Amino acid sequence: MALTIETAEPLIIEQWRTWSQESDSYKITDMMKFHFSWLPKNRPDLLVFKSKIDKWHVVHGWLQGYEDIQAPRRNPSRSHPTTSPQVPARSTAKNPRVR
């Protein structure tokens, strides 16, 4: 039975979450190992979904989207600031051109 893309996505992400935590690495090369080596050997049933484009591109997009969300949680010091940047105070010197 073929999985739908909607069904395959959360299942593959769950497998990635477990696999990547064990390896503690989240690079594209790790995603490739996961997709081309680990999944076919351990969970080939998850790669039977139908897609009009190459499955690597689909799965890589899912994993990258997941990692974009997870990265700030793993390393808060690299996350974007939640507050807006401070605007420098204006000079108190009067500008003769401004009336």
| Residues 43-53: tens digit of each pLDDT | 999 999 999 99
Cα–Cα dist 17/66, whole Å: 9
Interval 19-66: pLDDT, tens = 988 877 778 899 999 999 999 999 999 999 999 999 999 999 999 999
Full-model pTM = 0.69
Angle between helix 55-74 and 5-23 (nearest 10): 50
Q: To the nearest whole number, what is the mean pLDDT of the chain?
A: 80
Cα–Cα dist 90/37, whole Å: 59
- Residue type (1 letter), 61: G
The pLDDT value recorded for residue 76 is 62
Task: Express as a percent the part of the chain with pLDDT over 70.
Answer: 72
